[in-house]
């Protein structure tokens, strides 16, 4: 039932191809899509630095016909993709802040959390999620491998700077006791050897403890053509069905599931030890609505075709602007922008610069794999380029009005799901 061998790259300083499903071990994985070779999304070289050799990695999506998991075809050493100087901070994104406040409101009510209850967040980043539980008066602990842990600790959010593992789980239980709630938002799909992670989570949970996971949703990804979320951090792309299957291998049962709006479409699931919670109808409803077997194969094939078309359409819109001598900038530099830019083939002769809001740690660096500089956004209001491509297109409705209010007069392009002027 468990894979005989799991692709593990930690400690290799390199990468390891996925030859069998990370969850069920099935070895006839089918290729969904190949985006070619890509740089790690956090490989951002300072502007003006002399160019030197950088690693690129194959980026393909594989489908397991046995357990329906969609997974990346390559596992890259976490030291390469989550370097200590990892420049991503959750607190910068309003949608995430709102979502985590809502996660706290929903879960504290549903689980009737007490003040003494311990809540542990895996991949806690700057502490944005867990700070809600702290404000609610609960005991908290964050686990975060990158230097962003320092930001959290400085904010008074107790954070343990480590890559999560079963050993770390044991240490947490020894020091703090079992957890009533373990959360993992957008990191549960990121850590290799998923079975060890689930074992670690289970080991931290009190007998009546609950695991809450938020992951990018495979079905939403397919529906809105979010191939740009395919990069080396994201090892697995879950449906409720494939996630429930994985957790059930470890005696955990999903008892509630729902869609949430983060990252352009995610799922939040609640799981507990088998038989300890009443299973809500939401679980069956969501699983029944997901494609399985042959229907999934067809769904994935049409996704591949549509991704190719969207690349060509975006390229042709950009070509049109450049033919007329137009200048183009990018709006925001999320990790997903790296996949889009490199897959579509944009470079510094096409995109003058990418804007980030003041305070972003990405300012002063180049977009991965290119010499496109990331600058503070005030530049575009002075400069008024003819066109701006919104790389955070999944929050276009939040961004576009702000850009207009701040005085941008050029055209705006949302590159996905269908490239269009907005």
Which residues contact Zn ion (rule: CB under 5 A)?
21, 23-24, 26, 64, 66-67, 69
Nearer to Zn ion, 21 or 152 (CB): 21
Cβ contacts of 407 within 8 Å, gap of 6 or more: 381
Cis before 417 (ω within 30):
yes
Please report where in the chains the tokens 């003040």 appear, as a residue: 115
Identify which of residues 24 and 267 has a Cβ nearer to Zn ion in the complex. 24
In angstroms, the CA 361 to CA 120 distance is 26
- Give least dist CB 246 to Zn ion, A: 9
Residue closer to Zn ion, measured from CB, 3 or 87? 3
Compare residues 7 and 130 and give the one whose CB is closer to Zn ion. 7
Cα of 102 vs its chain's centroid, Å: 19
Least CB distance to Zn ion at residue 190 (A):
18
Q: How far is the CB of 238 from Zn ion (least distance, A)?
A: 12
Residue among 23 and 44 whose Cβ is closer to Zn ion: 23
In the complex, what is the shortest distance from the CB of residue 20 to Zn ion, in angstroms, rounded to a whole number?
A: 8
CB of 270 to Zn ion, least distance (A): 23
Host H or E run for residue 16: strand 15-17
**Cβ 32 to Zn ion, closest distance in Å?**
14
- Which sign does the torsion angle of CA 340, 346, 347, 353 carry? negative
Alpha-carbon Rg for the chain, nearest whole angstrom, is: 21
**By C-alpha distance, which of 203, 158, 210 is closest to 182?**
210
For 294, phi and psi rounded to 5 degrees?
-60, -35
Q: Between 30 and 223, name the residue whose CB sits nearer to Zn ion.
A: 30
Map tokens 């030890």 to a residue: 273
For the bound state, the minimum distance from the C-beta of residue 69 to Zn ion, rounded and expressed in Å, comes to 5
CA proximity to 308, closest of 98, 35, 109: 35
Q: Are 391 and 403 in contact (CB under 8 A)?
A: no
Buried/exposed code over 130-166 (b: 16+ C-beta within 10 A; e: otherwise): bbbbbebebbbbbbbbbebbebbbeeebebbbebbbb
Query: In this complex, which beta carbon is closest to Zn ion, that of residue 71 or of residue 392?
Result: 71
């Amino acid at each position: 039932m468990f894979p005989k061998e799991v692709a593990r790259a930690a400690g290799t300083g390199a990468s390891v191809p996925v030859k069998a499903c990370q969850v069920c071990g099935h070895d006839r994985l089918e290729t969904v899509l190949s985006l070619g070779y890509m740089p790690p999304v956090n490989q951002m070289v300072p502007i003006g630095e002399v160019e030197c050799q950088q690693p690129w990695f194959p980026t393909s999506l594989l489908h397991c016909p046995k357990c329906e998991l969609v997974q990346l075809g390559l596992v890259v050493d976490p030291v390469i993709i989550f370097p200590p100087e990892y420049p991503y901070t959750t607190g910068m994104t309003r949608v995430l802040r709102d979502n985590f406040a809502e996660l706290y409101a929903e879960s504290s009510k549903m689980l009737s959390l007490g003040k003494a209850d311990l809540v542990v967040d895996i991949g806690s980043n700057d502490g944005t999620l867990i700070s809600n539980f702290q404000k609610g008066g609960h005991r908290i602990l964050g686990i975060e491998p990158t230097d962003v842990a320092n930001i959290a600790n400085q904010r008074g959010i107790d954070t343990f700077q480590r890559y999560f593992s079963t050993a770390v789980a044991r240490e947490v239980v020894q020091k703090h006791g079992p957890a009533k709630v373990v959360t993992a938002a957008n990191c549960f799909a990121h850590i290799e050897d998923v079975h060890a992670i689930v074992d670690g989570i289970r080991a931290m949970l009190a007998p009546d403890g609950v695991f809450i996971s938020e992951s990018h949703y495979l079905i939403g990804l397919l529906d809105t053509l979010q191939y740009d979320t395919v990069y080396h951090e994201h090892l697995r792309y879950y449906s409720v069905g494939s996630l429930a299957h994985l957790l059930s291998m470890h005696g955990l049962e999903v008892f509630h599931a729902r869609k949430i709006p983060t990252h352009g479409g995610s799922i939040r699931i609640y799981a507990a030890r088998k038989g300890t919670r009443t299973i809500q109808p939401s679980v069956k409803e969501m699983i029944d609505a997901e494609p399985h077997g042959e229907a999934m194969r067809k769904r994935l094939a049409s996704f591949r075709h549509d991704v190719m078309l969207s690349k060509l359409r975006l390229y042709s819109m950009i070509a049109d602007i450049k033919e007329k001598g137009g200048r183009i900038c990018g709006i925001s530099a999320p990790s997903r922008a790296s996949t889009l830019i490199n897959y579509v083939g944009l470079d510094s002769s096409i995109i003058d610069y990418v804007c980030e809001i003041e305070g972003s740690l990405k300012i002063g660096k180049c977009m991965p794999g290119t010499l496109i500089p990331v600058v503070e956004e005030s530049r575009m209001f002075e400069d008024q380029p003819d066109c701006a491509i919104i790389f955070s297109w999944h929050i276009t409705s939040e961004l576009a009005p702000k850009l207009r209010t701040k005085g941008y007069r050029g055209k705006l392009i949302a590159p996905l799901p269908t490239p269009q002027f907005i």
